[in-house]
Amino acid sequence: TVYGKHDPRIVLLDEYHVNAVPYGHILLVYNDDRPGAIGTIGTILGRNDINIADMSVGRFEPGGKAVMVINVDSEVPKDVIGEIRSAPGITFVKQVRL
């Protein structure tokens, strides 16, 4: 979708409704929807000096499955991706560069 004339957005991702800006380094994180999930990912990224520039989340229902679309300022190293993958409730992680 494009807002206005020049503001593209990702509004649907695997049937999850999101409002993500498609630019730069992006992490796609699929997870169980539970308290602390977003904080866990933010803590891992912050501890590794990776700044979150933008973030959108979507879910089907409370306590079900969810997705995070996270724009970061720099590429996320493989070991940090591995740390995110091993966090409780994380089911899939993919890094994309647009």
Evaluate if pTM is beyond 0.85. Answer: yes
pLDDT of residue 6 exceeding 90, the answer is no
- pLDDT score recorded for residue 1: 64
Tokens describing residue 10: 């990702």
Q: Could you tell me which CATH number the domain at 2-97 has?
A: 3.30.70.260
Domains of the chain: which residue ranges?
A: 2-97
Least confident residue range of 3-7, 62-66, 80-84: 3-7
Give the model confidence (pLDDT) of 43-75 as tens digits: 999 999 999 999 999 998 999 999 999 999 999
Which residue shows structure tokens 């990776």? 50
Q: How many CB atoms lie within 10 A of CB 28?
A: 17
Percent of the chain with pLDDT over 90: 85
**Strand ranges in 1-98 using DSSP code E only, listed in sequence order:** 2-3, 7-8, 10-13, 16-20, 25-32, 52-59, 65-72, 90-97
